Structure 1
Amino acid sequence: MLKSARNKKEKDPEGRMPLADHLRELRNRLMKSVLAICVITIVAMFFYKDIVDFLMKPVLDSVGCPDGARLSQLANHDAKKQCAYFTVNGLLSPFTIMLKVSFTTGLVLATPVWLYQLWAFLAPGLHRNEKKYGLFFVGLGVPLFVGGAFFAYKILPTSAKVLLDFTPGGANNLLPLDDFLDLLARMIVVFGLAFELPLLLILLNFTGILSGRRMLGWWRAMIMGITVFGAVATPSTDPIGMFALAGPVTVLYFGAVGVALVNDRRRARRRAADPDFGLSDDEASSLDLMPEAIEETERVGAGELTAGDDPARRNGYDDVT
């Protein structure tokens, strides 16, 4: 017990470690993340049908065919109101859909775990002032990702209605369930990651890499880039999905610019009061080189010497020694 305690290496306060220790740390973080995803995936398998019903309900409420309608009756349905059925093709499709839905659920619900593990792996290489904000941004990144995923879930019925309106008259709309789930999963990932853009900009501003004034100067290029990203990255390829993604992200971008400008003013005030504010761990603080006046020394009068003291000797030694 004592021997193992002696052999235990102390952690470097600056986070330095050999390459083998870095790889071992990465392996442990990945194993914890995968374990959390697997546990939630297994639990989601027991509620697979409820999850699928929850995912299909908005689209069925928007473009679903009337109850009791059959494929033979779809041709006689009002052509102005296109409707659709979800279908499952193949013997193994229900099983693969179950695995796909359960894994996607585990990946989304385990977001706090794997985001924290990513932060814990990167934290030793950050400065102290960067670590101070890191955990806060990890906690804020989870609701932003979930908010983007929920937004994609809510606009999908509108996108489905617009796309199905292009169906020629007399044609039947049969939507493969696995294709629909793939589309929904891609939209959730794209919207969730896009909603993280303002958080990344604020993180760069809080660490001193990017100023709020520079972010504001990029607003034209940012709006164009966000719109192009919405057109390219949106899996549904319809204009509603593109603008539904570009609109909220643009609003979040200007919100991030406002937060960055406020933070820059706060930092300027604190730097004016304290020149050493915001220094990293490896930066030296400023030195005050202004000379100060030396006070006059107190002279000992002759009357303060005792009878046994010799003025030529101090502490038992003369001036020469």
Structure 2
Amino acid sequence: MTIIDRIKNARKVDTDDAATMSLLSHLKEMRSRLFVMAIAIAIGSVIAFFFYDDILSFLRGPYCRANHGHCELYVTGPLDGVSLRIKISFFGGLAIASPVILFELWRFITPGLKAKEKRYAIPFVIASLVLFFAGCAMAYFTFEHALVFLTNIGGSELQQIYNPNQYLSLILLMMFLFGATFEFPVILVALQMARVVSPAQLLSWWRWAIIGITLASALFTPSGDPLSMLALAIPLIVFYFVAILIGKLARR
């Protein structure tokens, strides 16, 4: 083996060691971030546990308005109340810890971003958080009409007696789906800034976008009522054109 070959092999070993160390450091960084997120969720869950009655009363709001104040929830087993409290505490903890979770995700990806990309990181995080909670709020305030719609389909002969776990699962699913789909404009702006698509392309696809948004809104609305579908579809259509405008301004 020549001296040149030995030097090349030594450089290759150094490169492999550096890559291994980089991977290990990233894994350690990820572990520390996940640990902080888990602690934040645990603390948030403890807080939500002590505010269980207030959270449950808040989530029962649409049911009470839809049923004219008659909004009792009936458990059918001795463990239903316990599982309900655990579920509310966990999801309440997630909601309370969400700013910390987004902040830790931002701190994890920031070292790999360029200076220009870092400048947009905080606005993206804030926009994602605001839009998610806006979607949750939209779902919460339209859920009353969804319950009325579902009740009317069943007919007036049926007595509405809800299990709290089933009711909670439905309203939380609807809030999560609305919140997640409200992230749509953030994704569109990111794709434009990454040069994956251009504002002109998105604008030329507006007819297909409206059709796709309408179909997705029908699919992502658990209750299936027209009002909830429109409450999801109309903001997404507006967000589509706003995202095109923001993407056009950001690419200048």
Alignment check: 8 A CA contact 1:153 1:188 kept: yes
Q: Does 1:43 align with 2:47?
A: yes
Q: Does 1:118 align with 2:105?
A: yes
Percent identical residues: 36
Cα distance in 2 between the residues matched to 1:258 and 1:176: 45
Q: Does 1:28 align with 2:15?
A: no
Moved more, 151-160 or 85-94: 85-94
1:116-265 mapped onto 2 (5 Å cutoff): 116-264=103-251
Go from structure 1 to structure 2 and tell me whether the alpha carbon gap of 1:245 and 1:254 turns closer, same or farther (over 3 Å shift): same
Deviations 1:169-198 (A, max 9, x none): 432111111111101111111111111110
Unaligned runs of 5+ in 1: 1-15, 67-83, 268-321
1:100 corresponds in structure 2 to 87
Moved more, 176-185 or 239-248: 239-248
Cα distance in 2 between the residues matched to 1:169 and 1:57: 22
Go from structure 1 to structure 2 and tell me whether the alpha carbon gap of 1:119 and 1:201 turns closer, same or farther (over 3 Å shift): same
Paired residues in the alignment total 234
SS of the counterpart of 2:155?
coil
Unaligned runs of 5+ in 2: 1-19
Q: 1:55 aligns with which of 44, 56, 59?
A: 59
Question: In terms of Rg, which structure is larger?
Answer: 1
- Equivalent AA in structure 1 for residue 88 of structure 2: V
Alignment check: 8 A CA contact 1:148 1:194 kept: yes
Q: TM-score, normalising length from structure 2?
A: 0.86
Cα distance in 2 between the residues matched to 1:228 and 1:147: 21
Bigger relative contact order (CA 8 A; separation at least 6): 2
RMSD: 1.9
Cα distance in 1 between the residues matched to 2:193 and 2:202: 13
Q: Which runs of 4+ in 1 moved over 6 A?
A: none
Alignment check: 8 A CA contact 1:130 1:207 kept: no
* Structure with the bigger percentage of helix: 2
1:87 corresponds in structure 2 to 74
Deviations 1:72-107 (A, max 9, x none): xxxxxxxxxxxx642222101111101111111111
Go from structure 1 to structure 2 and tell me whether the alpha carbon gap of 1:214 and 1:41 turns closer, same or farther (over 3 Å shift): same
